Amino acid sequence: MVSCETVGASRKIWITAAVVAALAAAAFLVWLHGPWRAADARAMLAELPAGDGLTVFADMRALRQSGILQRLAGEAGAESEEYRGFVAATGFEYRRDLDAFILRSEDGRRWIVAEARLDYGKLRRYFLAQGGRCVSELCSMQGSAPERQISWVRLKSGRLGMAVNPDPLAAAAFGGKAEALAWPVPETPLWLYLPGRMLAAPEGAPAWLALAVDGMRGAQWLLWSARPEGSGLDLRLQIQCADADKAKEMAGRWEGVLESLREAARQQGDRVSLPAILAEGKFQARGESAEGRWRIEWGRLEKLLP
């Protein structure tokens, strides 16, 4: 297995995307109700440069409308002085002004397409004030390390394209010809895609997580997605395999993982922890995919939130 690249928080402007990415990864965020206008994830994906890495999508409108974003991110004003200075200079505050984003991380490089209410003139002046430079429509500045150059460009769609990359002009790669995807884009407000080559349990991961990751070895890719359903969350995991036999084997491995979690939960009388909730999932093979599904009541999920 190849270790995942860790997604570190970038400096200054990219603190916005880093915080939001952490929210998206935290628990496959849920929301209580509500009508929401779906962001066009397919169109946003098409604006990313060619590549295949960890990809996260979040519809921030839905999270904001439900109150979940405020609950997880806290009230404005608790951030670093540096971030508050960025907000004061640009007028952009992610809790209020970020509507949707797609983030891809691959080999230490990060690419982001964001739908946001931005004053691009103020953003340009902020980069220049921080020692950055602008060439035509592209601006760049030094991040927290020499290899972490932050660059951005306003895309033809009006969205923001941003890169964190050793190349200070990396954002010029946005808006090229879109590649055909080998995986289906979920019609949900929150999802995460991971190519099989990046599968690895984080260092120091709990035993149950290491066991679950080990149960996915040999996968071509996996796709988590979440949507509201009634009073809870419908959470799905699709694991793409090489063929139907491998899919059956994968589903069997996962059922073994879930049974281990169920037994541990029974012995400990545990119904509230994340492992205990995940233990209630079901797996089955569907063609060349192994698919897991969880139906989790909001009241139980709420106890996991800070």
pLDDT at 145: 82
pLDDT at 29: 34
Nearest to 232 by CA among 180, 194, 277: 277
DSSP code of residue 204: T
- Residue type at 242? A
Please list the pLDDT of the chain residue by residue as tens digits (306 residues).
222 333 333 333 333 333 333 333 333 333 333 334 456 899 999 999 999 999 999 988 877 776 666 666 655 555 667 778 888 899 888 888 999 999 999 988 999 999 999 999 999 999 999 999 998 889 999 888 888 899 999 999 999 999 999 999 999 999 877 778 889 999 888 899 999 999 887 788 888 778 778 878 889 999 999 887 777 788 999 999 999 999 999 999 888 888 988 998 899 888 888 888 888 999 999 999 999 999 988 778 777 765
pLDDT at 37: 47
pLDDT at 78: 54
pTM: 0.81
pLDDT at 122: 93
CA distance 132 to 137: 13
* Domain positions in the chain: 12-173, 203-302
DSSP track, 175-200 = T-PPPPPSSPPPSSSEEEEEEGGG--
The residues near 43 (Cβ < 8 Å, ≥ 6 apart) are 157
Q: Which residues pair with 160 in a beta bridge?
A: 114, 154
